[in-house]
């Protein structure tokens, strides 16, 4: 899979590619991530990429031309282009699963006041990572990348994410490690019983209970496409 991240601030994203699971996935060739500074596609003086809003008001708006030039340069027949945008569909694990099956995605990070509205005619979708506003699309792009890359075959063991929260609209079951007792709090007996059928049944039951207790809304199983 190939992921291109269009940003004016490559340094924000750079470090994320050089640590832990994401770093190993790139080194193993399971994913290629390119950070592209779209300022270089500006043909204006000083590589200007933004301008004041028509109609007045505060903040600078990202112009269409450099972004569209970058998208058209990077896009191939497999590519899907997504704006990082608080007005987009709220991102969920089900979207990560869908996107992880694509061959090439281009994530476009906004900044300042956001994008010229007309950019919407040049993209396939818009992704929001939640109902709050960040200064730029870099953190959302990293969140989306991370959620996709960990699902790619060979990146982490399949059994370490198949019961993760949001898989099958359930939260994860409770997990414990050593010591068996910590400040009077004990590991449930079933987990040290060695009886794997019982352990699996307990985990299934706990996933349901956990979801009912914390996120009853998930049991409805809604899904919106990006």
- Site of interaction with ligand SAM (CB under 6 A): 84-87, 109-111, 113-115, 128-130, 132-137, 140
Residue 139 backbone dihedrals phi, psi, to 5 degrees: -65, -45
Q: CB of 53: closest distance to ligand SAM in angstroms?
A: 10
Task: Identify the active-site residue in 113, 120, 146, 174.
Answer: 113
Q: CB of 120: closest distance to ligand SAM in angstroms?
A: 12
> Is 164 an active-site residue?
yes
Task: Identify the active-site residue in 164, 172, 174, 203.
Answer: 164
> Is 113 an active-site residue?
yes
Distance CA 102, CA 80 (A): 8
H/E segment holding residue 94: helix 93-99
Q: CB of 84: closest distance to ligand SAM in angstroms?
A: 4
Q: Tell me the residue nearest to ligand SAM as measured from the CB.
A: 110
* 219 burial via Cβ count (<10 Å: 0-12, 13-18, 19+): exposed
For the residues of 114-129, what is the DSSP string, one character each? -B-GGGGGG-SEEEES
> Is 150 an active-site residue?
yes
Give whichever of 126 and 206 is closer to ligand SAM, judged by the CB atom. Answer: 126
Q: CB of 92: closest distance to ligand SAM in angstroms?
A: 13
Task: Identify the active-site residue in 4, 50, 63, 86.
Answer: 86
Residue 202: how many other CB atoms lie within 10 Å: 18
Give whichever of 38 and 173 is closer to ligand SAM, judged by the CB atom. Answer: 38
* 174 burial via Cβ count (<10 Å: 0-12, 13-18, 19+): middle
Residue whose token pair is 């992921």:
3
> Is 14 an active-site residue?
no
Report the catalytic residues: 86, 113, 150, 164
């Amino acid at each position: 899979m190939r992921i291109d991240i269009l940003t004016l601030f490559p340094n924000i994203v750079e470090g994320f590619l050089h640590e832990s699971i994401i770093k190993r996935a790139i080194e193993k060739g399971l994913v290629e991530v390119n950070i592209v500074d779209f300022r270089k596609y500006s043909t204006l003086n000083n590589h200007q990429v933004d301008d004041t809003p028509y109609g007045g008001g505060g903040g600078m708006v990202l112009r269409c031309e450099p972004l569209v030039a970058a998208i058209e340069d990077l896009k191939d027949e497999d590519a899907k282009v997504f704006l990082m945008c608080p007005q987009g569909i709220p991102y969920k694990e089900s979207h990560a699963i869908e996107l992880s099956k694509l061959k090439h995605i281009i994530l476009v990070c906004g900044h300042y006041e956001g994008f010229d509205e007309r950019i919407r005619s040049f993209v396939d979708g818009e992704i929001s990572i939640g109902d709050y506003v960040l200064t730029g699309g870099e953190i959302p792009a990293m969140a989306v990348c991370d959620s996709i890359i960990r699902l790619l075959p060979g990146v982490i063991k399949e059994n370490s994410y198949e019961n993760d929260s949001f898989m099958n609209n359930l939260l994860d079951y409770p997990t414990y490690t050593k010591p068996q007792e910590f400040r009077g709090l004990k590991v449930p007996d079933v987990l040290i019983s060695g009886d794997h059928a019982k352990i699996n049944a307990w985990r299934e039951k706990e996933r349901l209970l956990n979801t009912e207790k914390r996120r009853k809304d998930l049991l409805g199983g809604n899904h919106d496409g990006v």
